[in-house]
Amino acid sequence: MIQVLFFAQVRELLGTAKLEFSAQGINNTEQLRAALAAQDDKWAKVMASDKLLVAVNQTISNWEASVADGDEVAFFPPVTGG
């Protein structure tokens, strides 16, 4: 299982902070994002890759980053400030 975490507005819009997702057939962060987005229209809108950053095992990653059983993947909105 992959531990999936959601932060900030992503968490608020989805109504959940975390879930476990089967690692079967999931090889990278883009495949995980797409599988989550396929759940329904709400998930598809929130999981649009142009609105998200991703981290694997607490390291900022890209959409080609490998994931495997036991990994932790976090999705969060781009951070801005000043």
The single residue listed with the structure tokens 């490998």 is: 66
Both tokens of 24, joined, read 């079967």
Rounded distance between C-alpha atoms, residue 13 and residue 6, angstroms: 10
What architecture is the 2-76 domain classified under in CATH?
Roll (3.10)
Question: So what's the pLDDT on residue 41?
Answer: 94
- What is the reported pTM? 0.92
Contact 53, 73 (CB under 8 A): no
Q: Nearest to residue 4, comparing CAs of 38, 41, 29, 40?
A: 29
For the chain, which residues make up each domain, given as ranges?
Answer: 2-76
5-47 tens-digit pLDDT: 999 999 999 999 999 999 999 999 999 999 999 999 999 999 9
Rounded distance between C-alpha atoms, residue 8 and residue 52, angstroms: 11
Question: Is 79 a residue whose pLDDT tops 80?
Answer: no
Question: Is 51 a residue whose pLDDT tops 90?
Answer: no
Question: So what's the pLDDT on residue 9?
Answer: 93
